[in-house]
Amino acid sequence: MNSWEVAYLGLGSNLGEREANLRKAMKMLESTGEVRIMRRSSVYETSPVGYENQPDFLNMVVQVKSCLKAKELLHHCLGVEERMMRERLIRWGPRIIDIDLLLYDNQTFKDSELTLPHPEMIRRAFVLIPLLELEPELVMPDGSSVSEHLAKLDEEAVNGVKVWGVVE
């Protein structure tokens, strides 16, 4: 059996009952016993990025421990998305749930299926802000801090991430 590693997942939803979607995804992530949610950030409401003609998102980050290897964890996340009926019609388009593997045990990795750390996370205030809430001193595998990346972002992007509440 694999050892239990720490990973961070970004969750987002902008269709249907957004809060219920986040709650359901977390429950489904833990359903097999191979993923345990250790901590969860507040939920933030944000405007869409990329394709803007869609509803606002609820976003959050969860810290998990998992006995799955990184690619297995990615497939588990994709399986949850599939079971929740996520449709991939438009890149960065509306979705009932989105689960991104952001960081996995301070590893770096890249192939056609998975890149660690998540390649877009350092450009997304809606990822960095909840990640900093969970781990204010978090350092990326390259030695840079999450707070350094957040400081480089456009003020409008940072100010557009509003605390919405918590999901139990």
Catalytic position from the list 36, 100, 105, 154: 100
Catalytic position from the list 98, 105, 142, 154: 98
* 123 catalytic per annotation: no
**C-alpha–C-alpha distance, residues 70 and 101, integer Å:** 8
Catalytic position from the list 18, 86, 91, 154: 86
* 124 catalytic per annotation: no
Q: Which of 10, 71, 2, 78 is nearest to 33 (CA)?
A: 2
Q: Which of 155, 109, 151, 105 is nearest to 132 (CA)?
A: 151
Radius of gyration of the chain (CA): 15
Catalytic position from the list 95, 123, 124, 142: 95
CA torsion, ordered 112, 108, 140, 18, to nearest 10 deg: 40
* 98 catalytic per annotation: yes
* 95 catalytic per annotation: yes
Let me know how long the chain is: 168
- What residues act catalytically? 86, 95, 98, 100
